[in-house]
Amino acid sequence: MAIYRVGLGLLVVALGATTTFAGDGCAPEQSVVADAGCVTAAPQCVEKIISVPQMVKVTKKVMCTEYVPTVKTKTINVCRRVQVTKPVQRTCTVWERQERVRNVTSTVCEPTYEPRESTYQVRIPVTNVVDQTYWACEPIVREVDQTYTVMVPKQVEVKGVRTVCRVIQETQMRKVTCDKGHWDTCIEEVPCRPRRRLFQRRGQKACGTCNGCGTGCDTGCDTGCGECGATCQPTRTVCRKVWVPNIVTTEVPVTVCRTVREQVPYTCMKTVCEPVVKHRTVCVTEYKRVQKTRKVKVCSYRIENRVKKYTVCKMVPRQVVKQVKYTVCVPRQVTKTVNVTTCETVTEPKEVKYTVCVPTQVEREVEVWECQMVEKKIQVPVDTGCGECTPACTPRCKTRKIRCHRTRRHSRTCGTVAADCGDC
């Protein structure tokens, strides 16, 4: 009986053949070699039970800390300003108004009026009528024959040539470049890196390191040291999609529009003005200078002496004594009571509320993914030997591929099992 554990880094085959382990999880496939060179022996299959990893969503209870706001009350001392009014005796100076009289001597100007006479000249206008000789132009109108030219419009047919633009379509060949590539699968060797488990604590060594030697075989993590990791490989084979370009240039017909200029004859009517000579009689005005006489008023001035009387005012100064009242302010000391308001600080107790966060342990349910091993039945061929073979029999090997399983919690682990074909 053979038990296979795929995905946990352990592969055991009890078929009596050579067994090879791949502890680092990087081998892409498992091969079973059997002798197929004899035509007389029929292959036999044995039913085996293997454990297959399967990801299951599990609900777990986790303790977490929550902070609950709590309102508390405390007493504090509060300072408050209080107004206090007290009577205070104060001495102040009061200004009192007093009226007094004093003699003031001033100079006063009194007006004095005197009559006077003055002589002045006046120009009196005098108007006289005199005769004046002047030149005037008298109009003389006469009729004269005049010849003039007028432009008479006339419609004339004119022929010409004009340029007309016309759009024509034509087919041209253009080069078009396109990528007709395809996706190809590329097999590469990449280095293996250790993966941290889902519930691994900080500081705990992950798979692929030699610090956890001795626990790799039990937990399905091949650590690369000791008996479990004796055949660890530093690389693994992966398949990657690669785009293979194929640049192809082809010529395709393209319909384009092109503008063509053409000379087109045309006929139109044009208006042409022709000169025509005509005769007419016009009136011509001529001016003749004639000497005439007219009466004009002339203004002249006559000088006349006149006398006018006027009064002159003079200011005569005089000393005058008068009494003037005035007000003075006399200081006087007065004692009075004044109410003074002051602010005093009073301390009073006061209750205030404040909020604090109290930590509380709460149990919650969290959904996580967990890898579980599920038993599965498979058919495995058994090597029974060649049986009755001929001397010319050539051994052949048959290879069977087993897919590797890869989970989030465990690294991918595969192995290679080879069976002896036997001697013919």
- pLDDT recorded at residue 380: 83
Higher pLDDT, 158 or 31: 158
Nearest to 373 by CA among 25, 1, 9, 2: 9
| Separation of alpha carbons 412 and 415, rounded Å | 10
Q: Positive or negative CA dihedral for 323, 325, 331, 336?
A: positive
255, pLDDT greater than 70: yes
Q: Which two tokens stand for residue 11?
A: 């592969």
Token pair 């099992």 is found at: 417
Average pLDDT, the chain: 76
17 backbone dihedrals φ, ψ, rounded to 5°: -110, 180
pLDDT in tens, 215-244: 444 444 444 444 444 445 678 888 889 999
Residue 418 has pLDDT above 70, yes or no: no
Q: Rg (Cα) of the chain, in Å, rounded?
A: 69
Taking only the tens place, the pLDDT of each residue in 188-219 is: 888 876 555 555 555 555 444 444 444 444 44
pLDDT digits (tens, 9 = 90+) for 66-117: 888 999 999 999 898 889 898 988 888 889 999 999 998 989 888 889 899 9
Listing DSSP states for 256-315 in one string gives: EEEEEEEEEEEEEEEEEEEEEEEEEEEEEEEEEEEEEEEEEEEEEEEEEEEEEEEEEEEE
- 394 Cβ partners below 8 Å, 6+ apart? 37, 424
Query: How many CB atoms within 10 Å of residue 237?
Result: 13
Q: Using CA atoms, how far apart are residues 111 and 136, in angstroms rounded to an integer?
A: 70
Q: Does residue 415 surpass a pLDDT of 50?
A: no
> Each residue of 311-323: pLDDT tens digit?
999 898 988 888 9
CA distances from 257 to 165, 169, 171, 231, 398 (A): 12, 5, 9, 74, 69
| CA angle centred on 259, ends 256 and 261, rounded to 5° | 155
